Amino acid sequence: MKKVITAVLVTSSIASLSLAFALGADEATSFKSAVRESKLLSLAAREKAIDLGYEAFKKKVYKESFPGGVYIVNGDTPVADEKELMDFYQREIVAEWKSTKFGIALGQGATTQLILDAPNGNPAAWDNVSKRNLTYCISKTFGSNYTKTLQAIQSATQAWEAVADVRFVHVDSLDGQCDASTPGVVFDVRPVNVGGEYLARAFFPRYARPQRNVLIDDSSFTLKPGKLELAGILRHELGHTLGYRHEQTRPEAGKCFEDKNWVPLTSYDAFSVMHYPQCNGLGDWSLTLTQKDKLGAACLYGPASGSSFKPDSCNSI
């Protein structure tokens, strides 16, 4: 594999970001945003963003161009509107730039991998009723890619259901009218054409229904066989829908810090399905669940029926 040269900016995504590292450099150039999306957040980027100011920062953040489109930060995390983007800038850029280790020396942070979305220290997850009825529709506008999407979603949901007491429910009767406003489902799965700005993006449990979408870019259906696969992408994205953050935002990763709005569920896991390999991760682009991923999911939502589980391995949250 040819080395892909990366630089520094304020946003990244599992989309073109992953492709730039999964493919050779020559192949990656066919994706118009591969280089841009491969630029990783760093202290220098934060400092520059502060020097240039909010308006310059905003211009560098990708915003979906379709109706209802949102800003994308931290790789594949949606930010609903400009007010939230300003909050993000003040909280995560201005307030967090002072230390490359973010106040915690490497190896001295929490030793207890999956990390949970926790804005302002408040853990966000599905309650005991909702977690067993995570309904969704898959838009028929996928056309010839509908079956491929259905199969990939089923594979991804089964991976999480096999280890935790969660249940994803496909309401296929709503597939013909599946969009961001469709009632009767927790979230929608729809195709988008963002020109390779990302492969897919999802949401966290705390988001309102209009922002609870799993959006899949057309480029996800033209991946090179044996490299990154749609099912793996969706395992990662569905991890977000359950509340899990990118593993590399932990200080132990030493790279690609995002913010401190999380709490640990297990020890740091460089192989995690939620960890970008290029951010000092040790996994590959198969994006499968590790033992720690499985433990973390069981710690948060309870174990799946018939699974082995040691509750004393969990942190209290």
- The whole-chain average pLDDT of the chain stands at 70
Domain 130-314 of CATH type 3.40.390.10: yes
Higher per-residue pLDDT: 143 or 298: 143
Give the strands of the sheet with 134-138, arranged side by side: 168-170, 134-138, 187-192, 213-217, 200-201
What is the arithmetic mean of pLDDT over 165-179? 98
Least confident of 8-17, 141-150, 201-210: 8-17
| 268 pLDDT above the threshold of 80 | no
- DSSP 8-state code for residue 316: P
| 27 pLDDT above the threshold of 50 | no
> What element of type H or E holds 168?
strand 168-170
User: Best-predicted range by mean pLDDT among 110-124, 132-146, 270-284, 285-299?
Assistant: 132-146
Taking the C-alpha atoms of residue 283 and residue 11, their distance in angstroms, rounded to an integer, is 22
User: Best-predicted range by mean pLDDT among 7-16, 20-29, 69-78?
Assistant: 69-78
Residues 151/185, Cβ–Cβ less than 8 Å = no
Taking the C-alpha atoms of residue 17 and residue 38, their distance in angstroms, rounded to an integer, is 4
- Distances in Å between the Cα of 104 and the Cα atoms of 97, 109, 125, 196, 268 are 13, 6, 26, 35, 14
DSSP 134-149: EEEEE-GGGGGGHHHH
Q: What are the tens digits of pLDDT across the range 79-103?
A: 888 888 888 777 766 665 433 222 3
Q: What are the tens digits of pLDDT across the range 191-241?
A: 999 988 888 999 989 899 999 999 999 999 998 776 778 998 899 899 989
> Domain residues of the chain, as ranges?
130-314
**What pLDDT sits at residue 238?**
93
| 264 pLDDT above the threshold of 80 | no
Q: Is the pTM of this model over 0.85?
A: no
The separation between CA 45 and the C-alpha centre of its own chain, rounded to angstroms, equals 21
